[in-house]
């Protein structure tokens, strides 16, 4: 076991912050690279959404309501809350005979800074549909309508949707469903905790689903195809996740999560990567971005052209409230 990856943040020429990042790289169930204590049990946060989205497919909701690829991508997303995203979520809800008042996530403003400024100039108020998890909640509601599950109380850990999520987490990590630990996520539903290593194992299995049972296997393939084809629906125009899918299409399945989590699977190679920024992520920047690019480069998982396309994430700019560059993030070896 190696040391955590260290990412520093500068302000001017002075080092201002240091971020230690635990990581695990798993291939065919075996750890081939790691740093820090990979047995740490940490919240997957939104990195679990590609797994959670499978409930919408295995229940038959996606087919019953004729959900499109862009709609599946937003169900598996932590989106920016732009009109592109809210229009898509309203379509999902309308197909189910519902409206946004059924969403049980909190009220929020758009995550995209420039779009949020436009949002405020228009005099709009925070709304549930603007919440970055509203796509997931729309997928939950679609599953509930299809299965006849209660629409109220779907945030409860005892609700059938959440019980099925625990079973899916068990399938992908080998943690018994009854032992899956959870708390409450930022949007109100249970958030899953897994060790960093098991998060990497989960994405390795997701990346290469041949040994998974049906309909999970076909569901994984549909979600993977959707997020690769519609990366902006699954993220946002300026986000690292969307840039990764655009730079290396149909090479990865990946998802970021709150407080410095990022998980990735290499399609067809039974390889998964999970990183966790130990001090979380309450910043205007993401310390995991240069760390993920660093690991992909180290393991030869990016072509030269792809690495070049992701160049701005190898040493991301740190900006102030005036949009001025005041520093940079970078991995120090």
* Residue 74, pLDDT score: 98
CB half-sphere exposure, 95, CA atoms < 13 A: 21
What is the signed CA dihedral for 205, 209, 211, 215, rounded to 10 degrees? 120
Peptide bond before residue 333 is cis, with ω within 30 degrees of 0? no
Q: Which of 321, 271, 319 is nearest to 295 (CA)?
A: 271
Which residue segments constitute the domains of the chain, with CATH numbers given?
5-281+318-332 (3.40.710)
* Tens digits of pLDDT across the chain (333 residues): 699 999 999 999 999 999 999 999 999 999 999 999 999 999 999 999 999 999 999 999 999 999 999 999 999 999 999 999 999 999 999 999 999 999 999 999 999 888 888 888 999 999 999 999 999 999 999 999 999 999 999 999 999 999 999 999 999 999 999 999 999 999 999 999 999 999 999 999 999 999 999 999 999 999 999 999 999 999 999 999 999 999 999 999 999 999 999 999 999 999 999 999 999 876 678 999 999 999 999 999 999 999 999 999 999 999 998 889 999 999 997
* Residue 282, pLDDT score: 62
Judged by DSSP in three states, 161 sits in helix
């Amino acid at each position: 076991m190696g040391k955590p990856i260290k990412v520093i943040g500068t302000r001017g020429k002075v080092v201002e912050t240091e971020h230690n990042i635990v990581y695990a790289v798993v291939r065919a169930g075996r750890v081939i690279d790691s740093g820090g204590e990979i047995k740490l049990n940490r919240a997957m946060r939104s990195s679990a959404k590609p797994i959670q989205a499978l409930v919408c497919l295995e229940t038959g909701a996606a087919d019953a309501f004729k959900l499109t690829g862009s709609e599946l991508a937003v169900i598996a997303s932590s989106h920016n809350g732009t009109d592109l995203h809210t229009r898509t979520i309203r379509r999902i809800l309308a197909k189910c005979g519902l409206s946004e008042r059924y969403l049980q996530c909190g009220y929020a403003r758009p995550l995209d800074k420039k779009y949020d400024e436009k949002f405020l100039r228009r005099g709009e108020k925070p709304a549930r549909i603007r919440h970055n998890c509203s796509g997931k909640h729309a997928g939950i509601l679609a599953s509930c309508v299809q299965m006849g599950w209660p629409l109220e109380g779907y945030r409860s850990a005892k609700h059938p949707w959440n019980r099925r999520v625990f079973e899916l987490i068990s399938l992908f990590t080998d943690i018994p469903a009854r032992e899956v630990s959870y708390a409450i996520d930022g949007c109100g539903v249970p958030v899953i905790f897994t060790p960093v290593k098991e998060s990497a194992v989960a994405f390795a299995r997701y990346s290469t689903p041949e040994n998974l049972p049906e309909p999970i296997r076909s569901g994984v393939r549909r979600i993977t195809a959707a997020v690769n084809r519609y990366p902006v629906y699954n993220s946002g125009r300026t986000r690292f996740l969307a840039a990764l899918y655009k730079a290396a299409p149909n090479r990865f399945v990946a998802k970021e999560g709150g407080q410095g989590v990022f998980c990735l699977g290499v399609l067809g190679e039974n390889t998964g990567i999970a990183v966790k920024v130990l001090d979380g992520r309450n910043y205007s920047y993401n310390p995991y971005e240069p760390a993920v690019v660093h690991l992909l480069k180290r393991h030869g998982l990016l072509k030269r052209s792809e690495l070049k396309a992701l160049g701005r994430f190898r040493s991301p700019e740190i900006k102030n409230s005036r949009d001025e560059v005041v520093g940079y993030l970078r991995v120090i070896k």
